[in-house]
Structure 1
Amino acid sequence: MGGNMYRNEFEDLLTWKTKKNRKPMIIRGARQVGKTWLMKAFGKQEYAQTAYVNFESNKLLKGVF
């Protein structure tokens, strides 16, 4: 992931994290652009524990979304 793009997206995630009444986050986008990598890096740096759910590979959740 490019440096500027990484910083911009990471800053967006930090902004989301600091919102008082934030809603759950759903990350969507084209394949192979770094969504999973960014989310996991953000979770590792900013939280003690994280949960990762892939809606494409989970049949029950795929039907919900």
Structure 2
Amino acid sequence: MYRKIMNFLEEWKESNHRKPLILQGARQVGKTYSILEFGRLHYENVAYFNFETNPKLNETFE
């Protein structure tokens, strides 16, 4: 499934002045799907961390 956000993500990836990406938006609109699909298509490896389903990850930032 192609989403409009893919164009934005591809432009972000090619930017020489790229900064870390924070993806925000309403629930249930495809944010996770879009970013994982983008990673699968454009990178050899992708790491996915869900701080809601694994609260122990929060300790990393304490």
**TM-score for both structures, normalised by structure 2:** 0.76
Count the aligned residue pairs: 58
4+ residue runs over 6 A deviation: none
Identity among equivalent positions (%) equals: 43
Q: C-alpha offsets along residues 23-60 of structure 1, whole Å, 9 cap, x if unaligned?
A: 11111111110000000100000000112223434541
What is the Cα-based RMSD across aligned positions, in Å?
A: 1.9
Gaps of 5+ in 1: none
Q: Distance in 1 between matches of 2:15 and 2:54?
A: 29
Work out whether 1:28 is the aligned partner of 2:27. Answer: no
Indicate yes or no: 2:23 matched with 1:10: no
Amino acid at match of 1:45: L
Which runs of 5 or more residues in structure 2 are unaligned? none
